[in-house]
Structure 1
Amino acid sequence: MALLEVRRLSKVYSDGTTALQDISFELHNGEFIVIIGPSGAGKNTLLRSINRLVKPTAGELLFKGQEIVSANASQLKKHRREVGMIFQRFNLIERSSVLRNVLHGRLGYMNIVRAVLSLFSKEDKDEAIRFLERVGLGEQVYKRADELSGGQQQRVGIARAIAQKPSLILADEPIASLDPVSSEIVMDQLYSICKEEGIACLCNLHQVDVAKKYATRIIGINNGEKVFDGRPEELTDTIIERIYRGSKEQKEEMAS
């Protein structure tokens, strides 16, 4: 059974904008799938739909065989607990410590009273520190999140995601705001941890060369439609042109 099944997924926003059109694919345990496409192609909407931060207009989403589009509040809580999320803008609580930000990955496993009072167990705290050491931030545990560089903050985001002990990580443009050196560190950490822990990953990226380096499989989206799904070595220049055809990115590349 596939870990995730996306079946004919579509999303039309209230203003009439069509973000996704009839998207279908499967994701299996151990895969590291990268989604590429121009700005506005629907990559963000797709990831947010899978985590039900956005409700699709049509289609089905099955995670471990459980239908997610029609899931109730209790089912959604369980689903989101098993799906870690890494955000482009880090989504950290800036005035809280690095350790506390990572511990927030455990909130889905706590009852409401313990969660509100932030009553984390010693085991959770010890594990959070180990996760931070794993991403090279063992000396930053008690610093405020806003004292870290962008690359370091994103590594806190990775540690928070793996603290959930998820089966799947959704990474939404995790290196979009980072310099090349920080980008490589973040992608190396994300890829190696997913492989070592057996966590599947679905990652949105703009950079085709980075996608080819890390992906076990690449999905190309243009104008809300899937136009490519295959191995990195199958992604030819002709297919890349089709994925980015008419986009701002392609026009800028042609002008340079």
Structure 2
Amino acid sequence: MSALLEIRNLKKTYTDGTTALQGVDFKVNRGEFVVIIGSSGAGKSTLLRCINQLVQPSEGAVLFNNVDTTKASSSQVRKLRREVGMIFQSFNLIERVSVLRNVLNGRLGYMNPITGTLGLFSKRDVAEAKKILLRLGLNQQIYKRADELSGGQQQRVGIARALSQQPMLILADEPIASLDPLTSESIMNHLHSICREDGITCIVNLHQVDVAKKYATRIIGIHKGTVAFDGRPDELSEEIIQHIYQK
């Protein structure tokens, strides 16, 4: 079975001279729940953003479903962003509009610009969005403004928006960094169980090693822009953890 995602010698140096990635290589197979760990500034966020072309790599290749996204046309990039859902640490919701509309925004990549701008979503899309919100325990918040919700509820809306894209892959960039431990566990439970039930491949950036070990089928450790570890959670020793997080 071919990998859903393959990263080849990925490098990124920003215009200010900061080198975020220094030759990253790995593959992700369909159905994996991969957690990427590493200290702040290790290159984790840049790595995720290179996958969906929010950041353009300096060198290397990102093959998603056998297409090199670094050489993709604008139409191929649009297709990529439909098939790859993104969950952000800061939620990235439109605060002044309803929870339902925020989730429906995940369908914009499938619509033409006019109907999307006017919010002319199909009855099928609306019904599906409501099903997703029910699944995430947000059926009582459907018509509330996003800024009326707690942080944990907003992150569940972020998950719902990603799911509404019907993605092959979900990227989650520090999805629990701003949440308390109890809420963090709830978010990770939702994300992990939904991906497992629906067969969605997932890559999550986390700081918390204990959380990574609990949920990951595989852990990748990033240190100063390079892969310092790639293996099963039970293979992650204290010595390796210290190396990954050393300054």
Task: Identify the TM-score tier after normalising by the shorter chain.
Answer: over 0.9
Question: What residue identity is the alignment partner of 1:142?
Answer: Y
Structure 1 residue 41 corresponds to structure 2 residue 37: no
Q: Which residue of 1 aligns with 2:228?
A: 227
Q: Aligned equivalents of 1:103 and 1:157: distance in 2? A: 11
Q: Aligned equivalents of 1:112 and 1:89: distance in 2? A: 26
Secondary structure class of the residue paired with 1:69: helix
Residue 243 (structure 1) shift: 0.4
Q: Aligned equivalents of 1:58 and 1:104: distance in 2? A: 32
Residue 98 (structure 1) shift: 0.2
Q: Aligned equivalents of 2:65 and 2:137: distance in 1? A: 32
Q: Which residue of 2 aligns with 1:200?
A: 201
Q: Aligned equivalents of 2:222 and 2:181: distance in 1? A: 24
Structure 1 residue 86 corresponds to structure 2 residue 51: no
Residue 72 (structure 1) shift: 1.4
Q: Which residue of 2 aligns with 1:250?
A: none
Q: Aligned equivalents of 2:158 and 2:204: distance in 1? A: 14
Q: Aligned equivalents of 1:175 and 1:5: distance in 2? A: 26
Residue 141 (structure 1) shift: 0.2
Residue 13 (structure 1) shift: 0.5
Residue 245 (structure 1) shift: 1.2
Q: Where do 1:125-164 residues align within 5 Å? A: 125-164=126-165
Question: What residue identity is the alignment partner of 1:159?
Answer: A
CA RMSD of aligned residues (A): 0.5
Q: Aligned equivalents of 1:20 and 1:196: distance in 2? A: 33
Gaps of 5+ in 2: none
Gaps of 5+ in 1: 247-256
Question: What residue identity is the alignment partner of 2:24?
Answer: I
Bigger mean CA deviation after superposition, 106-115 or 229-238 = 106-115
Q: Aligned equivalents of 2:160 and 2:14: distance in 1? A: 33
Bigger mean CA deviation after superposition, 110-119 or 89-98 = 110-119
Q: Which residue of 1 aligns with 2:245?
A: 244
Q: Post-superposition, which runs of at least 4 consecutive aligned residues in structure 1 deviate over 4 A?
A: none
Secondary structure class of the residue paired with 1:24: strand
Question: What residue identity is the alignment partner of 1:153?
Answer: Q
Q: Which residue of 2 aligns with 1:249?
A: none
Residue 15 (structure 1) shift: 1.0
Q: Which residue of 2 aligns with 1:119?
A: 120
**Residue-pair matches, total:** 246
Residue 116 (structure 1) shift: 1.2
Residue 151 (structure 1) shift: 0.3
Q: Aligned equivalents of 1:245 and 1:154: distance in 2? A: 30
- Name the TM-score, length of structure 1 as normaliser: 0.95
Question: What residue identity is the alignment partner of 1:15?
Answer: D
Residue 111 (structure 1) shift: 1.2
Q: Aligned equivalents of 2:97 and 2:234: distance in 1? A: 43
Q: Aligned equivalents of 2:203 and 2:28: distance in 1? A: 8
Q: Aligned equivalents of 2:129 and 2:209: distance in 1? A: 33
Residue 80 (structure 1) shift: 0.4
Residue 24 (structure 1) shift: 0.4
Q: Aligned equivalents of 1:182 and 1:51: distance in 2? A: 27
Q: Aligned equivalents of 1:185 and 1:138: distance in 2? A: 16
Structure 1 residue 12 corresponds to structure 2 residue 13: yes
Q: Which residue of 1 aligns with 2:107?
A: 106
Q: Cα deviations across residues 59-88 of structure 1 (Å, max 9, x unaligned)?
A: 000000001011111110000000000000
Provide the identity percentage: 66
Q: Aligned equivalents of 1:134 and 1:160: distance in 2? A: 13
Q: Aligned equivalents of 2:154 and 2:246: distance in 1? A: 34
Question: What residue identity is the alignment partner of 2:208?
Answer: Q
